[in-house]
Amino acid sequence: MKSLHTLLKVAQRKLDEIAVESARITQEVAALNDREANIRAREQAEIANAAQEPAYAAMLPAYRMRVKQQIAEVRAQATAKEKALEEIRQRLSEAYIEKSKFEQLIEQTRVREEIERFAREQAQLDEAAINRAGGQGK
C-alpha cells in the first residue's frame, strides 16, 4: 500500500512539473504575441509619421519590409512554442491518466482491505457466538 502512495506522489510531482512547463511556455507565447502587437503598433505610428513628413515617406517601403520580416520571425517562434505547448498538453493528459490509475488502485486496495477487515470481524463475532452457544449447552 505504501508503494502505491509513493507512486502516486511521484505521478503528482511529474504532473506538477509538466504543468509548470506548460505555464512557462504559455507565458512565452503571450510575450511573443505582445511583441508582434508592439511591432504592428510601431509600424502604424511610423506610417502616420511618414504621412506628415515627406522625407520619411521615401524610407517607408524599406521599413515595412523589415517589419514584415520581424513579424514573420515572431510568428515562427510563436508557432514553434505553440507546437511544443501542444506536445506538453499531451504529456499532461497522459500524466493525469497515470495519476488517476494510481488513485483508483489505492481506492480499490482500501475497499478490499475494508472488506477483509469486516470479514475478520464477522468471523470473530461468529466464533464468539458459537462459543457462547456451546457454553450454554453444558
- Predicted confidence pLDDT, tens digits, the chain (138 residues): 678 889 999 999 999 999 999 999 999 999 999 999 999 999 999 989 888 888 888 888 999 999 999 999 999 999 999 999 999 999 999 999 999 999 999 999 999 999 999 999 999 999 988 988 877 755
The model's pTM is 0.71
**Cα angle value 114/102/14 (rounded, 5°):** 145
Domain boundary assignment for the chain: 2-99
Q: E strand or H helix at 8, and its extent? A: helix 2-52
Instruction: Please give the DSSP secondary-structure letter assigned to residue 53.
Output: -
